[in-house]
Amino acid sequence: MSVRPLVILPDTQLRLISKPVTGADKEIRTLIEDMFETMYDAPGIGLAAIQVGAPVRAVTVDVSKREDKQEPLALLNPEIVWRSEEMREMEEGCLSIPEYYEAVERPDRIRVKYRDLDFKEHEIEADGILATCLQHEVDHLNGVLFIDYLSKLKRDRVMKKFAKQAKLRSEEA
């Protein structure tokens, strides 16, 4: 297992639509292990494969509190099959948009169909922080970022800030 470098805004990879996983082979299992390692190291509660430069439909999540036992969940080809009409606003952040947080409104409850690391199909219903996290990560697989839910003004400010930081990093390199 190893910590992989994170893809950071404004990198255009974050806008790619990830391809379906066709099986849980050794390569996918290694990717998932590295994603957990990267997610815990960051630290974060969710990570989409595209955030470590792998454009495949794979997600890792663990919304357990840091002092509690870890509850890692790996989802291959996750698909939201149902959303509640009730909405909930939660503050979100993203490992690919470091140190930026904003309130986003999303459905409070969802149902997700996915495959596990044995490529068996499952369906789970989630609410609260798990529902928010899963929606955030599935969005990543579709090239959508949480800042896309913000006003154009806020989104443009964030993009400008991260473009400036990227330019400074490239000048230093």
Q: What is the CATH classification number for the domain harbouring 76?
A: 3.90.45.10
3-state helix, strand, coil in the chain (%, to 5): 35, 30, 35
Strand bridging mode 97-107 / 121-127: unpaired
pLDDT at 1: 80
Residues 29-54 have pLDDT tens digits of 999 999 999 999 999 999 999 999 99
> Which pTM was predicted?
0.95
Residues 6-24 have pLDDT tens digits of 999 999 999 999 999 999 8
Residue 2 lies in a domain: no
Structural domains counted in the chain: 1
Residue 155 lies in a domain: yes
Residue 161 lies in a domain: yes
Question: Whole domain around residue 87: which residue ranges?
Answer: 12-172
Burial of 134 (0-12, 13-18, 19+ CB in 10 A): buried
Share of the chain above pLDDT 70, in %: 100
Residue 124 lies in a domain: yes
Which positions are annotated as active-site residues?
Answer: 137
Residues 90-112 have pLDDT tens digits of 999 999 999 999 999 999 999 99
Residue 5 lies in a domain: no
